[in-house]
Each structure stands twice: as C-alpha cells, then as structure tokens.
Chains A and B, each alone.
Chain A
C-alpha cells in the first residue's frame, strides 16, 4: 500500500524540523561524552588496593581511622577496621555506636554489622552485595555527644 504524500512543506515547518533534529543531535552528543565526574582519589585507592585512611567526623569532634586489608574490597563479605580517635588533640572518650553501608542512589542497605558496644575500635564485617559506590555511615559518641563519620568506598 502506497502512502499518501501530503503537500509541500512550508519553510516554517522545515525550519522547525531542522531545529528539532539539531537540538536532539546536540543532546545526544553532549550526553554521550558526559563522563562520570568527580572522584575521591584517597577512598578510591583504599577500595582498590587497601590501606588506611583518616576521616574527620561531620561534627568535628572525632577522627576515624579506616583500614581495608591488602587487596581492597570485593563483592561479598569484607572486614573494615574502624578506630575512633580524639580530634584536634582534645582528650575525648569516643565510642563507635553503629555502622551502616548504603548504596544511596539505589535505596540499598547492607545488613548492619554487629559491633561490640562501647568500643572505640572495631572490625565491621559488611557484605557488599553489589558492585558500585557505597557510603559508610559510622555513628560515634564523643564525650557524650553524638557525631557521624561518613566515607565512600567503591566496590569493584
């Protein structure tokens, strides 16, 4: 069946069509080269090959030392060493209360690791069940005041 061909294009319609195609092509070009921006070199290195990293708390009361075993992280069970220290030289009694591992963009949360209550140093055993960016949230208490330490890890 042959299609019915309509009458001549008007210039306005030609221009409108060309503009729409051009806009779409520009959109495709921009998005196709849009790289994933931003990176945290220290946490990336920690995730890939292991090591230690110092992370200050959001409230500025505590510093957390994060230790990942040599070889880095992987999907499945991982053990991350956490040690809370006084910050800015001020004497403090620091306790690690809880640890959460979140894939924020995907609404994922790993089973929270069991911790020995009241310690300022612990090993958190976390099952990263998916590759990608995880945010680790560590709730701490410093001289009775609540504080939080967050840091990202990239699970290959």
Chain B
C-alpha cells in the first residue's frame, strides 16, 4: 500500500509540475477529455499516441463467496507496467487504435518470491461515433458511440524468475492467453456546462486455447462503467468512475469448473488535461473497495495510472 501511495504521489506531483507551465488548448476537447473509456482522439484530430505507465498492488483477495481477506506482510501481488497506444481517426467519426503493454510482476507468498517480466497482448479497437451532437452537448441528445475489440494473445512471460512456476497478472494486462472478441457501447452527456456523465459497457467472448496444457475455454466477460466528470474548463476534466467486471466460469479439459466465475468492482478518481500543442496528460487512481460481497474470486487492487499522450 505504501508503495502504491508513493507512486501515486509521485505521478501526481509530476503531472502537476508539467501541467503548471502549459497553455490550455483553444479547441473543444468534448470527447476524449473526460476519463476512462474515451476515444484517444477528438473528432478534429487524426492521430494520437499515448503512453500509460501504471502501478497496482493487491490489498487482499475476495474468495468465491465474496469474503475478503487482507494480505499478510509476507504476501504481495503487484505489477508495474506501461501500455503504449496508437490511434488513427478516419472521416471524423471512426477511430481505430492498437494497444500493447510490457510489465514487471511481483508475487510473494510464504515460501514463494518471484519477479518476472511480461509482454502484454495486442488489443485493436474500433470506435464509431453514431450520434454526434453539437459540442458541447448540454441540452441536446447524448453522444453515442459503439466499438469492437479484438485481443490477440501475444502476451507472455519473458522469464520465470528462476523457478518453473508460471503466472501472469490478473485482469489480462499481461496476457490473457486466448483470443478475445468484444463489442462495446458508450453514452456521454452534459447535463450542465460543467458536468458530464458517461455510461459504457463492453461484452467479450473468449476463444478456446491450450495455454495451460489441456483445452481451456475462458468464460465471457462483461464490463460496465459509469463516470461523472466535472469539466472546469474546455481543456480539462476531473471525475469519478465506477466499473464492474464479471467473467463467467471457465471450462477446462471438457468440464465447466464450478466456482471460477469472478466479479470485480473498482472505483477511480481521475483528472485529465489537454494542451494547445496536442499534449494530453491524465492521472487515474483506482481501488477495489475491500467490502465483503462487493467482489468475488478476485484480488482487491489499489493502483494509479499516468496518461501521457499527444494528438494532432
């Protein structure tokens, strides 16, 4: 926890320093400025590159019944990683992006202490703005977008830290091990000139794989996210979001493994800002509240993510 707070403080200070001397952007950032789930580019932009370094650690774990157990001092599950994204917008309504990541994972338990490095999967996303209200959208219909996702299972461990045990980080950031196909939808609406809400949902199917030896079929994944953002200026936003991810039971070697479905609730606080030179900075701090019954079969996470992007 101390490590996560230290990293969060560091990235907060760094972004404050960078932000302090910059000039606000003059153009409208109505889409893409308000936090998680947003496209990387605004409608008037063509290209965007983004680096997202982050750190997360597990506070404890929820069992299958939702009981929470806080980790002891001899237990740790943490990951430091950086994701890289490249986005291209076509005809102002369609954005196609690709993202991959690399990370370092630490797992400690009594009698076990391993550090390994991983490459992440490659995610290709397409996002289409179906309803495109005049900016900003207060008093009008919400912006409505739909998307598709293809995850290629390129993620793998680069080393096992001296042992034969293998592991990958949860939440698929460093390798799901299976192809994933998903669809998504998102709604964004201004209710006043300074307050925006957003709702986003994504459902994904995972193909069969043989990553663990026998035939494995991961359960489907459904994610929902709601966001409330305060937009003090056209260049930036701060807000809160809550997301819920559910994954169905796993089939392995021809049998459904009862009790392997997972549920994880995260809440996030975020801030983002765009500048006239195309630079976008953002910071997100998130936690899985360690409240009994809220999550199940999952690790309760605490982490932070810094977003450094550039668009034109």
- Could you list which residues of chain A lie within 8 angstroms of chain B, going by C-beta atoms? 1-6, 9, 13-14, 16-17, 20-21, 24, 27-28, 31-32, 34-40, 44, 58, 74-77, 100, 102-112, 127-133, 135, 137, 150, 152, 154, 156
A sample of 19 more A-B contacts (CB under 8 A), given A132-B61, A133-B297, is A3-B138, A13-B131, A28-B224, A31-B244, A31-B263, A36-B259, A37-B258, A37-B259, A38-B261, A40-B258, A58-B253, A76-B109, A105-B260, A106-B170, A109-B164, A111-B165, A127-B109, A127-B165, A129-B109
Who on chain A is nearest to B187 by CB? A20
In order of increasing CB-CB distance, the 10 nearest A-B pairs are A38-B258, A76-B110, A3-B136, A129-B112, A131-B61, A5-B139, A129-B109, A6-B140, A6-B134, A36-B296
With A38-B249, A77-B110, A135-B257 already in contact, the answer to whether A106 and B167 are too (CB < 8 A) is yes
Q: Tell me which of A1, A109, A156 contacts B63 (CB under 8 A).
A: A156
Alpha-carbon distance between A111 and B166 when the two chains are bound, in angstroms: 8
With A13-B141, A105-B218 already in contact, the answer to whether A20 and B185 are too (CB < 8 A) is yes
Residue of A32, A75, A110 with highest tally of chain B CB at under 10 A? A75
With A36-B261, A111-B164, A135-B252 already in contact, the answer to whether A4 and B136 are too (CB < 8 A) is yes
Question: How many Å from the CB of B235 to the closest CB on chain A?
Answer: 11
Q: Which of B156-189 contact A (CB under 8 A)?
A: 163-168, 170, 175, 177, 185, 187
| B212 at the binding interface (Cβ < 8 Å) | yes
| B292 at the binding interface (Cβ < 8 Å) | no
Q: Count the B residues whose beta carbon is within 8 Å of the partner chain — how many? A: 71
Question: How many Å from the CB of B25 to the closest CB on chain A?
Answer: 12
Question: How many Å from the CB of B162 to the closest CB on chain A?
Answer: 11
Question: How many Å from the CB of A73 to the closest CB on chain B?
Answer: 12
| B111 at the binding interface (Cβ < 8 Å) | yes
Q: Tell me which of A24, A38, A107, A128 contacts B212 (CB under 8 A).
A: A107
Alpha-carbon distance between A40 and B249 when the two chains are bound, in angstroms: 13
Q: Are B77 and A130 in contact (CB under 8 A)?
A: yes
Alpha-carbon distance between A135 and B138 when the two chains are bound, in angstroms: 53
| B101 at the binding interface (Cβ < 8 Å) | no
Question: How many Å from the CB of B170 to the closest CB on chain A?
Answer: 6
Residues in B neighbouring A152, C-beta threshold 8 A: 257-259
Who on chain A is nearest to B164 by CB? A111
Q: Are A104 and B263 in contact (CB under 8 A)?
A: no
Alpha-carbon distance between A128 and B167 when the two chains are bound, in angstroms: 12
Q: Are B234 and A1 in contact (CB under 8 A)?
A: yes
Alpha-carbon distance between A32 and B226 when the two chains are bound, in angstroms: 13
Question: How many Å from the CB of A30 to the closest CB on chain B?
Answer: 9
Q: Are A4 and B168 in contact (CB under 8 A)?
A: no
With A27-B201, A27-B222, A131-B61 already in contact, the answer to whether A34 and B168 are too (CB < 8 A) is no
Q: Are B212 and A102 in contact (CB under 8 A)?
A: yes
Q: Which of B248-307 contact A (CB under 8 A)?
A: 249-250, 252-253, 255-263, 296-297, 299
Alpha-carbon distance between A128 and B165 when the two chains are bound, in angstroms: 10
Residues in B neighbouring A76, C-beta threshold 8 A: 109-112
Q: Are A4 and B260 in contact (CB under 8 A)?
A: no
| B39 at the binding interface (Cβ < 8 Å) | no
Q: Are B199 and A21 in contact (CB under 8 A)?
A: yes
Alpha-carbon distance between A156 and B75 when the two chains are bound, in angstroms: 13
Residues in A neighbouring B260, C-beta threshold 8 A: 38, 104-105, 133
Who on chain A is nearest to B234 by CB? A1
Q: Are B201 and A17 in contact (CB under 8 A)?
A: no
Residues in B neighbouring A104, C-beta threshold 8 A: 212, 216, 250, 252, 257, 260
Q: Are B167 and A35 in contact (CB under 8 A)?
A: no
Who on chain B is nearest to A58 by CB? B253
Q: Which of B230-244 contact A (CB under 8 A)?
A: 234, 244
Who on chain B is nearest to A112 by CB? B164
Alpha-carbon distance between A156 and B65 when the two chains are bound, in angstroms: 11
Question: How many Å from the CB of A110 to the closest CB on chain B?
Answer: 5
* Residues 123-136 of chain B, each 1 if its beta carbon lies under 8 Å from chain A, else 0: 00000000101111
Alpha-carbon distance between A34 and B75 when the two chains are bound, in angstroms: 29
Alpha-carbon distance between A35 and B193 when the two chains are bound, in angstroms: 39
Residues in B neighbouring A16, C-beta threshold 8 A: 131, 141, 144
Q: Are A154 and B259 in contact (CB under 8 A)?
A: yes
